[in-house]
Amino acid sequence: MAESETRSALTDQGVDPSPPVIVIADDSPTDRRLVATLLEEQLGARIVLVSNGREAMTAIAEHSPVLVLTDMQMPELDGLGLVEEARAAWPKLPIILMTSDGSEELAMKALEAGAASYVPKRATADELVAIVENVIGTAKRERRRHRVLECIVRYQCHLELENDPSLVPHLVAFIQEKMLRMRLCSENGKIRVGVALEEALLNGMYHGNLELSSDLRQDGSNRFHELAVERRGQLPYSSRRLHVGIHITPAEATFTIRDEGPGFDVTRLPDPTDPENLLLASGRGLLLISTFMDAVSHNSSGNEITMTKRVG
């Protein structure tokens, strides 16, 4: 995302040119400064640094941030407690967890309590900015699509997408709007569903149709995205489409995403309930999908995922 686009995505109000505020809660001064530097330099954000969850609650009330980044293990009020208290007071405020070895189980509970996403501390330099952009962009689209229409009783459609990741945020926003109109989920629920849908759609494009391995992301190079661009113009990858089925009622929404790739052995999927998989790049998407959806299943050939979100 270009710097001008990022600043536009973060500003959210449309009329306020001031830098967006992000609160960082971490009892490690070194980690706080590292994260702050990344976000200041790459996103142009104004950073408010605090050392625990209690100070974060005060900072949120004073500065109205667009996002909170929190460590899990802190004195006075830890990351889980911060998520619970902040979600109760500011249900639309997205919170991203920064996890380290030993905090996986606590992070799982925080995701279940309403956190929007997470990033392992050891992957901060490589992944943090992209995750922050993604979550803030999703939250912004959520806040701008707030009008509720009650006339729709059922919505169903099927789409065939080319392998263009720029289409994904627009499709996710479209689905979120439909779910809101059906009163199918809360404001926080919409953000969580949006994150899960984006993970599933991008997995289908990148790992299914384009057959890109998650291992390409590990070396810190740009090879993963370079190869994605190459394969979008090469056969057989360029001819493949992503099939998306959407069925929404006032009781539940079901999404079926099928790619035209070779599939994979579904018995080798990482267990999304195992906290250790928080640290695996290959398991992150499935973990978020399984946490934010009520039911998730794959077909036997591994090229189709079905997700269900029930009212609540």
Which residues in the chain show pLDDT less than 70?
A: 1-17, 101-103, 144-152, 218-220, 269-283, 312
Asked if the peptide bond before residue 65 counts as cis, ω within 30 degrees of 0, the response is no
Q: Which two tokens stand for residue 233?
A: 């113009």
Same domain, 9 and 114: yes
The CATH number of residue 73's host domain is: 3.40.50.2300
> How many domains does the chain fold into?
2
* Helix (H), strand (E) at residue 297: strand 295-298
Is residue 260 within 8 A of residue 241, CB to CB? The reply is yes
Task: Give the contacts of 72 (CB within 8 A, at least 6 positions apart).
Answer: 78, 79, 80, 97, 98, 99, 100, 103, 106, 107, 110
Please report, for the chain, how many H helices and E strands are present, in that order. 10, 10
Structure tokens at 105: 């189980």
| pLDDT of 219 | 67
- 161 in helix, strand or coil? strand
228 in the same domain as 195: yes
Distance, CA of 251 to CA of 116 (rounded, Å) = 23
- pLDDT at position 282 is 56
Give the pLDDT confidence score for residue 109 in this predicted structure: 85
**Domain, as residue range, for 211:** 150-310
171 and 71 fall within a common domain: no
Q: What is the pLDDT of residue 118?
A: 87
Which H helix or E strand runs over 49?
strand 46-50
Of the candidates 48, 84, 89, 43, the one whose C-alpha atom is nearest the C-alpha of residue 68 is 48
The CATH number covering residue 198 comes to 3.30.565.10
pTM: 0.59
